[in-house]
Structure 1
Amino acid sequence: MSAYAIIETGGEQLRVEPGRFYDIRYFISLKPEMLDPNTEISIHRVLLIHNESTINFGHPWLKGAIVKGRILQPCYGEKIKIYKMHSKKKMRRSLGYRQKLVRFVVDLICFDGDEFY
């Protein structure tokens, strides 16, 4: 089993592994013009790291733990339909919304100088 980490970003917690890509809502520290492809990112809000038989917990975050990756592309999520209707009032309203997402790939997980691929 390879190493994995649990990170907090975009208001949610994700289980990430090196070499896989993930879609998240947004990066708080990056402005939209900085979200170009192949932009290197480092995430310091790491809650847990699991490597082979060792598990390291943070309270709330691990000190010295970094998840490094790069942005692949900005994208959109699935469309959310909002439909409001009042019966007997002839009021109907339909709205749609697509969340802006960022697809990024995790390159490596670092903890106290050790790198896990």
Structure 2
Amino acid sequence: MKYAIVEISGRQFWIEAGKYYDLNRIPTELGKQIKLNRVLFVNNEEELLIGKPYLENVVVEGKILKHFRSRKTVVYKMRPKKKTRKKQGHRQDLTRVLIQEINIT
């Protein structure tokens, strides 16, 4: 099983080829190819590659499938005995990316 750990928009993801992942909004068009070069770790069935902090010779290629918004998250704040209540909702903008392959040069 070949996988990589990649840093995208300040978060780290365990990435496998052929699967899709929901990431924070990436401002590009649908169907466009993207390359992720902040690869921290690769498990390539024969060997383990560990970056310090990143691997220079590894690139993860993906394709943007769609842009959408996540489900609503309700934020409710209440101060007891003060009659203070505040209810807010939040929907995060996301991009679905299909990981096509992990290239090691």
TM-score by length of 2: 0.91
* Structure 1: 4+ residue segments shifted above 4 A: none
Contact 1:67 1:110 in 2 (8 A): yes
- What is the CA RMSD across the aligned residues, in angstroms? 1.3
Aligned to 1:80: 73
| 1:1-117 map, 5 Å | 1=1, 3-27=2-26, 32=27, 34=28, 36-112=29-105
Distance in structure 1 (CA, Å) of the matches to 2:19 and 2:36: 15
> How many angstroms does 1:53 deviate by?
2.4
**Alignment partners' CA distance in 2, 1:99 and 1:74:** 11
Cα displacement string for residues 55-84 of structure 1 (whole angstroms, at most 9, x for unaligned residues): 111100001110001100012223211112
Q: How far 1:93 sits from its partner (Å)?
A: 1.5
* Preserved CA contact (<8 Å) 2:24 2:95: yes
Per-residue deviation, residues 2-51 of structure 1 (Å, max 9, x unmatched): x1111000211111111100001134xxxx3x2x2211100000011111
Distance in 2 of aligned mates of 1:83 and 1:64: 46
Counterpart CA distance in 1 for 2:81 and 2:97 is: 48
Gaps of 5+ in 1: 113-117
Q: Distance in 2 between matches of 1:68 and 1:99?
A: 24
Aligned residues: 105
The farther-off stretch of 82-91 and 38-47 is: 82-91
For normalisation by structure 1, the TM-score amounts to: 0.82
- Could you tell me which runs of 5 or more consecutive residues in structure 2 were left unpaired when the two chains were aligned: none
